[in-house]
Structure 1
């Protein structure tokens, strides 16, 4: 578990209206019940607009300040990537953002990284000089991968904290698997269901107290128990799934909410409310401090991270022995 303390930030009060996972200026329409396909949970267009705005704010300066969670997770992903004793000609960095993972790559491991992201301004936020490997950028929707890449074309696909905004996660994993060459690698990291539980519970308790009910302000995320099953259903083999946490200390709930907005992590759940009453936010801040506050006055925020590795099947891959073919008695070993 990692702890990040934002000691450089000033403890100040922000007059915010749902700045944590806040809706953009207009609410999204309800999903159509007559469409064929997965149920629409997120407004992908609203998410693209949020991330574009975050990348453009102050010329990208504010966006760079709040890269700390994605940069930390990218470094942990790289450790897992380096454990794989193979050199790749190219990889596809799916939902790359400005290149949190690709910036860490070196030419002795990868020659080229293809960065794909739905937010054009986020994708092009940082110059090529920040990368050691060759970079190609593709502006495309991660949910429609085959509009940008061909099946059976990628040596490896990596994804650093982007899949939690995909409406059809099983379908996205199937597309990733089909885009890989035989024996191709998928390495991903996504937020787990316990992410920001402190903020979620504080907002819910405050809303019940002040308004007599609750509405979603923190987006639903995948339960860690489902990931292995989803990877298997998508056709991946030799699965590895592990869970970690990144804890960040903030001066108060208000700084957390501001940073989430600057990250482009505003709420885009379809049917969301446009704003939270100011009295409710003040109550939520008090509850947050009471339930989770530290002795030094700071408050923690937990980001649960699910890391996953899967391989596309190939005849050359090692296979388990047939049942009953073992030659060593387990009793002798124990």
Structure 2
């Protein structure tokens, strides 16, 4: 999916006479449908028990942030949601967090969020679309940009990464976490097998995710330097498939593929709920759900950064090292 995205963007920028229907980023997700889903999730914030995945990922992302030996004045929390990363910030690492999200309720100035009022850093909120970052922030203006589980819903991921790099100051930091391609593979296989058995075909019911191998290439194409990409997993046990699907809806992580999506029949869902534990079930009767997380670190190039030596200047033969 991402390789076709990059090719589509390249054709659009390189061929002014191309077919106008091919111009612009390839549209995979219905952003309006996704906003509706997230708004519903934000309205159910009386109890955020479903946010344990985001909280766990934010905690692991913070570990990587703390490993960076630098203090920042302001951090832009891109696609902040309700502030899972921001609430973990300490004044020793940053004095201020700017939360930016496309869901107004999550960044409303008067929003009564206890854990953010208790946050030891200053918090500013901006309602804006992360796909159009440079319409809100100036180029070369940000010390650091962090994104925790937001970028997997943008249509133009290569373009968004380029905007992030453009928004950063020279030697500015980008730190991100997003769902990877193996996320919810247990649910995918159960639904696919059930649909083939009961309906004689397949249609997408879980949104496509970025493959790990594509991230380094996309970060490099976007112009980042000193790249670090690693992969981790968060495994959660559920009583059954129905509980998992309820949680995904409550998290605002339902399917948002663009275009018509044929709803699964009741008997297909019933078959999937039986296939799921048969293929992947735990010994205690619960079913696992795997969330693959891709973590990425990149820096905007600057003359002060470490530079590789020129080719041929090495003094130790590679054979001796090996």
Common fold: TM-score over 0.5: yes
Distance 2:118 2:54 in 1: 16
**1:112 is aligned to 2:99:** no
Give the direction of change, closer, same or farther, for the CA distance of 1:103–1:307 in structure 2 (3 Å limit): same
More helix by share: 2
Distance 1:251 1:122 in 2: 30
- 2:146 and 2:176 in contact (8 A); partners too: yes
Aligned match for 1:38, one of 2, 6, 25: 25
Give the direction of change, closer, same or farther, for the CA distance of 1:299–1:151 in structure 2 (3 Å limit): same
Report the RMSD for the aligned CA atoms in angstroms. 1.5
Q: What is the Cα deviation at residue 35 of structure 1?
A: 6.5
Q: What is the Cα deviation at residue 36 of structure 1?
A: 2.8
Distance 2:250 2:119 in 1: 23
* Pairs within 5 Å for 1:127-166: 127=114, 128-166=116-154
Give the direction of change, closer, same or farther, for the CA distance of 1:99–1:299 in structure 2 (3 Å limit): same
Q: What is the Cα deviation at residue 329 of structure 1?
A: 2.9
User: What residue is the counterpart of 1:20 in the other structure?
Assistant: none
**1:298 is aligned to 2:286:** yes
Distance 1:158 1:71 in 2: 15
Residue by residue over 1:179-221, the C-alpha shift from the partner in whole angstroms, topping out at 9 and shown as x without a partner, is 0000000000000000000001111111111111111111001
Distance 1:250 1:132 in 2: 34
Distance 1:264 1:331 in 2: 53
Distance 1:274 1:68 in 2: 30
Residue by residue over 1:63-95, the C-alpha shift from the partner in whole angstroms, topping out at 9 and shown as x without a partner, is x11110011011111111011111000010000
TM-score (norm 2): 0.90
- 2:203 and 2:262 in contact (8 A); partners too: no
Distance 2:192 2:136 in 1: 40
* Pairs within 5 Å for 1:14-163: 34=21, 36-57=23-44, 60-62=45-47, 64-124=48-108, 126-127=113-114, 128-163=116-151
Aligned match for 1:314, one of 293, 296, 302: 302
* Pairs within 5 Å for 1:150-299: 150-273=138-261, 275-299=263-287
Give the direction of change, closer, same or farther, for the CA distance of 1:130–1:48 in structure 2 (3 Å limit): farther
Higher RCO structure, 1 or 2 (CA under 8 Å, sep 6+): 1
- 1:216 and 1:272 in contact (8 A); partners too: no
Q: What is the Cα deviation at residue 271 of structure 1?
A: 1.9
Distance 2:255 2:77 in 1: 24
Distance 2:230 2:275 in 1: 32
Unaligned runs of 5+ in 1: 1-32
Distance 2:216 2:312 in 1: 26
Q: Which secondary structure does the structure 2 equivalent of 1:86 belong to?
A: coil
Give the direction of change, closer, same or farther, for the CA distance of 1:272–1:305 in structure 2 (3 Å limit): farther
TM-score (norm 1): 0.87
Please, which moves more after superposition, 200-209 or 270-279? 270-279
Distance 1:216 1:225 in 2: 22
- 1:51 and 1:122 in contact (8 A); partners too: no
Q: Which secondary structure does the structure 1 equivalent of 2:46 belong to?
A: helix
Distance 1:54 1:301 in 2: 20
